[in-house]
Copies of this chain bind each other. A is one copy, B any other.
């Protein structure tokens, strides 16, 4: 390995370390009112090092959001092999729930906290690429589900249905993350409740014949795509 390659690798390692540390810091401390100086102190990199990677705090937040979207998109990866797009929607919803439960503070930072707009020129996520952008992956799958003819006609706007599916996966884990330690609610198991809500939504968006199939056969057992075309 040449000197240039080594330097580049080291530089990208430092960049990742800054991001890791910043994510932990924001997840516990919030991000409002935090200066680059305070961030530098907390994550043990000097401001010049941080500035050599990120122009400002917003650039770090932007890159953290993009990285989370990439991580989530990667966790969706194996789902792409499931033949039935409606089953893929169920898989995506469950992966989102897993992400929220396994990384509660990252989930809170990413999906329960308002951030500055990620519109900078330094935004290096390939928007719309399902490999990198979890929203694009979901929308792609929604489009396949619509094209398969399994859905009721009122769910034909892919963008709207993508937002519905996201919200269906989001509802239970969002409430749990924020209100889960409130004792005035006798909370049931989060994952079970979230899965049951996803099941209800998918049952509610498919046409009758496809629905009968979803109800009577076990889930995701190598069913062929479009086999229940209505």
Q: Does A159 contact B (CB under 8 A)?
A: yes
Q: Does A230 contact B (CB under 8 A)?
A: no
Name A117's contact: one of B175, B182, B199 (CB within 8 Å): B182
Judge whether B204 and A200 touch: CB under 8 Å: yes
Which of A8-16, A51-59, A72-80, A107-115 participates in binding chain B?
Answer: A107-115
Residues of B near A124 (CB, < 8 A) are none
Give A32's nearest chain B residue, CB to CB.
B30
Judge whether B184 and A135 touch: CB under 8 Å: yes
| Chain A interface size range | 35 or more
Name A196's contact: one of B164, B166, B181 (CB within 8 Å): B164
Which residues, 168 to 211 on A, are CB-close (under 8 Å) to B?
Answer: 168-172, 174-175, 177-179, 181-188, 192-194, 196-197, 199-205
Which residues, 134 to 171 on A, are CB-close (under 8 Å) to B?
Answer: 135, 154-155, 157, 159-160, 163-164, 166-171
Which residues, 86 to 145 on A, are CB-close (under 8 Å) to B?
Answer: 111-115, 117-119, 127, 135
Give A192's nearest chain B residue, CB to CB.
B160
Residues of B near A169 (CB, < 8 A) are 171
Residues of B near A163 (CB, < 8 A) are 172, 175, 185, 187-188, 193
Q: Show 26 residue pairs from A and B whose CB-CB distance is below 8 angstroms, ordered by the A residue.
A: A112-B178, A113-B178, A114-B177, A114-B179, A117-B183, A155-B196, A155-B200, A159-B186, A160-B193, A163-B187, A164-B172, A164-B196, A164-B197, A164-B200, A166-B171, A167-B171, A167-B197, A168-B201, A169-B171, A170-B171, A171-B171, A174-B174, A197-B201, A202-B204, A203-B204, A204-B205
